[in-house]
Amino acid sequence: MAAANADIEGVKQALARLLAWPDLARSPQLANFLTYIVERRLTGDAQAIKAYSIAVDVFGRSPDFDPQADPIVRVQARRLRALLDQYYIGPGVDDPVRIQLPIGRYVPDFVDSATEPSAKPIGRVAGVPSGPPPVRERGHVTVSWFVLLVLALGATALTYALATMGPRQAQVVVASTGAMQMPKLRIMEFQNLTGDNSFTPSIAALAVELVTDFEPLLIVDVAFGGRGSVMVETDRQDDFVLTGIVRSDVGVGENFQFNAILTDAATNNVVWNWSGVVPRERMAQRGGIDFVSQELILRLGGPRGPLHVKAREYLARNDIAGQENFYLCGLLFSIYRTSPTAGASARLDSCVRALNADDQKSGNVLAARASLLAETPLEGQLNAERQAERFADAEALLAQALQASPTSSFVWEQRARLHEALGQHDFAESDYGTALQLNTANIDGTAAHARHLALIGQLDRARALAQRAIDAVPPLEVPDWFQCVPAMAALEDKAFAKAQRLALECGRVDTELGAVLSILIAQGAGDVAMVGQVLPTLLEVASFRSAGIMTRLRHRITDQALLGRIEVALLNAGVPDKSLDSAY
């Protein structure tokens, strides 16, 4: 039942329940946003609920706020919409009145749940899978859907190719004579092949939702491809085009199958594809399209994804001195996160320092500088006082970053990592939660949160998050440190051979955790020879030598059961008592 028929008192009670929900209460901005739009609607002032008024009244933007230049309202609306969907398939599933925020507008709907079927989750809520997996194997292609896709989109592709032939030819010159820029992606409207025209508006909204979800990533120049026919700007030279179809999934029941392909605009070659299954009932709900958009963004939008292959190859082969820009520095940060060597750190630092004055003030750049400062090892013996100074400087930079970019998932992720390094685990959890609310497709943030959860005793939650991050990255691009949680899970499952292989990968980046896991695994498997092989590596970890093994681990790990197992394993391996708690 539509909002007009829901009584005012019921809506107020629904709002109070939402505001008391911890996941919303920990985000005062979103709570104020929700309160603002609900109260305006209840007082009959719905026509005043606009992006401008929300930005000024709720988020404190100045009167000269430009919604085209500042996406804060769109970003926060998507966060709020996702939280509402999460609440009503979780703790609020039996609420008599639901508050919903439709895609594409900011005026809320009030729904009598007695007249609307209860929502059922099909995907992951807060990173935890529920129900059958909605997404098939990465890169899955079948003849049937591909034929349908070619038939449905052949004319569109031909029209697009003809319309942009001239600009693409010029593009080669631009790319060869200047610094590499972020890729330009055009998202076309997906084609409805389900035979049910009632879903056409929802499917048509997917392209718009994808454009909105891409914007906060800051490393893709995205444009909407239009409706009905190809509409392109004559001066825009697209690098990639994303097209897709939605069809009924024969043989899987009442499901819809989404198929998307990414085409290189210069060659018309398909460079990536994705297939995902969504239950029909989920598509009928308001969060269905947002879920599909997030799954696509997760696999396509990250710096390790297919849009950035050429740039990553370029960085691997070339010195970019004199060609530094925000985009290339962002990819260098991803490379640094994958393999945080001294060389990767120095290259990233050089890139960041060469950026122009405006980029230097951006939240993401300030946050990158903070992480480099906090994480780059000091030369020689570790100095606790000097490290504390660096942490304090990093904290100051992150405070500036949050002022500059309060809705940046990247900034919140770096703040979470700093709090984790400081041993402030409650703050770290809160920051990771905010980072992933702002951008559920933040792959590194997802993996980092998973590792932190595992170390504070929540391995079951960590498993799902870690796997989500791994599944989102091409197999050859998965960072070694993503495997730390799977190594811990395999150890817990007593799959020792698998655990040892994953622990070795983990240890290439996270030397502390990788070495300790290898000792636990070797002892669990009863492999005395392996204990002897691993022990010298563990004892040479610089942070262990500087502070004592268990002293250092107690700073990172709050799971007392895990700490107890580690201490027993180290003693059984012959580590001297004094090396556990003091420098050696």
Q: How far out from the chain centre does Cα 414 lie?
A: 13
409-446 as b/e: b if 16+ CB within 10 A: bbbbbbbbbbbbbbeebeebbbbbbbbbbbbbbbbbbb
Q: How far apart are CA 93 and CA 86, in angstroms?
A: 9
Statement: the pTM of the whole predicted model exceeds 0.95? no
The Cα 541–Cα 22 span in angstroms is: 39
CA 314 to CA 322: how far, in whole Å?
A: 15
Pick from 156, 170, 171: which is nearest to 231 by CA?
156
**% of residues, the chain, pLDDT over 90:** 53
Q: What is the pLDDT of residue 395?
A: 96
Residue 35 has pLDDT above 50, yes or no: yes
Q: Concatenated DSSP letters for 406-439? A: TT-HHHHHHHHHHHHHTT-HHHHHHHHHHHHHH-
Do 514 and 503 touch, CB atoms closer than 8 A? yes
State residue 3's pLDDT score: 42
Strand pairing report for 255-264 and 240-248: antiparallel
Judge whether residue 2 has pLDDT over 60.
no
Q: Which pLDDT band holds residue 69 (cuts at 50, 70, 90)? A: low
| SS3 assignment, position 226 | coil
Question: Residue 379: what pLDDT?
Answer: 58
Average pLDDT value for the chain:
83
Query: Does position 78 have pLDDT exceeding 50, yes or no?
Result: yes
- Distance between CA atoms of residues 150 and 551, nearest Å: 61
The mean per-residue pLDDT over the stretch 87-105 comes to 87
pLDDT in the model for residue 470: 96
Give the pLDDT score at 374: 94
User: Is 534 within 8 Å of 519 (Cβ atoms)?
Assistant: yes
Q: How far apart are CA 357 and CA 447, in angstroms?
A: 32
* Contacts of 147 by beta carbon, 8 Å cutoff, 6+ apart: none
Report strand pairing: 240-248 vs 184-187. Answer: parallel
**What is the distance between the terminal CA atoms of the chain, rounded to a whole angstrom?**
70
> What is the pLDDT at residue 438?
85
pLDDT at 142: 42
Average pLDDT on 497-509 reads 96
3-class state of residue 500 by DSSP: helix
- Beta-strand relationship, 269-279 and 255-264: antiparallel
pLDDT above 60 for 293:
yes
Give me the mean pLDDT over the 64-73 stretch.
73
Q: How much is the average pLDDT of 218-231?
A: 72
Quick check: 39 pLDDT over 80? Answer: yes
φ, ψ of residue 73 to 5 degrees: the values are -70, -40
Cβ–Cβ contacts within 10 Å for residue 221, how many? 17
Band of the pLDDT at 68, cuts 50, 70, 90?
low
The band of 99, judged by pLDDT with boundaries at 50, 70 and 90, is: very high
| CB distance 68 to 212 below 8 Å | no
Highest mean pLDDT, choosing among 208-222, 225-239, 352-366: 352-366
Mean pLDDT of 129-156: 42
Place of tokens 């082969």: 317
Cβ atoms of 473 and 443 closer than 8 Å: yes
Percent of all residues in the chain with a pLDDT value above 70, rounded to a whole number: 83
pLDDT, one tens digit per residue, over 53-65 is 898 888 888 877 7
Structure tokens at 258: 């989404």
**Would you state the pLDDT for residue 252?**
52
- Indicate the pLDDT class of residue 380, thresholds 50, 70 and 90: low
Q: Residue written as tokens 């709900």? A: 285
Please report which confidence band the pLDDT of residue 582 belongs to, taking 50, 70 and 90 as the band edges: very high
| Mean pLDDT on 84-105 | 87
Coil, helix or strand for 230? Answer: coil
- Torsions phi, psi for 97 (to 5 deg): -125, 135
pLDDT of residue 385: 82
Query: Which string of DSSP letters, residue by residue, matches 290-317?
Result: HHHHHHHHHHHTSTTSGGGHHHHHHHHH
pLDDT value for 262: 96
Mean pLDDT of 153-170: 44
Q: Which amino acid is at 296?
A: L
Average pLDDT, integer, range 450-475: 95
Residue given tokens 């004319």 in the structure block: 155
**What pLDDT, in 10s, does the model give residues 414-430?**
999 999 999 999 999 99
The DSSP call for residue 178 is S
Examine the pLDDT at 161 and tell me if it is beyond 70: no
Distance CA 572, CA 522 (A): 12
Closest to 435 measured CA to CA, from 448, 424, 426, 422: 448
Phi, psi at 23, each rounded to 5°: -65, -30
Q: Which residue has the higher pLDDT, 231 or 434?
A: 434
Which run of H or of E encompasses 100?
strand 97-100
**pLDDT of 169-200, one tens digit each?**
333 333 443 578 999 999 999 999 988 888 88
Alpha helices for 188-237 (secondary structure H): 200-214
Give the highest mean pLDDT range of 4-13, 232-241, 245-254, 298-307. Answer: 298-307
DSSP state string for 441-495: T-HHHHHHHHHHHHHTT-HHHHHHHHHHHHHTS-GGG--GGGGHHHHHHHHHTT-
- Alpha-carbon gap, residue 508 to 497, rounded angstroms: 18
Q: What is the mean pLDDT of residues 152-180?
A: 45
| Confidence label for 391 from pLDDT (cuts 50, 70 and 90) | very high
**pLDDT at 139 (0 to 100):** 42
Alpha-carbon span 117 to 112, nearest angstrom: 10
Residue 114 clears pLDDT 90, i.e. is over it: no
CA distance 187 to 134: 23
- Give the orientation angle of helix 484-492 with respect to helix 459-471, to 10 degrees: 130
Q: What is the pLDDT of residue 137?
A: 40
The yes-or-no verdict on residue 126 having pLDDT over 60 is: no
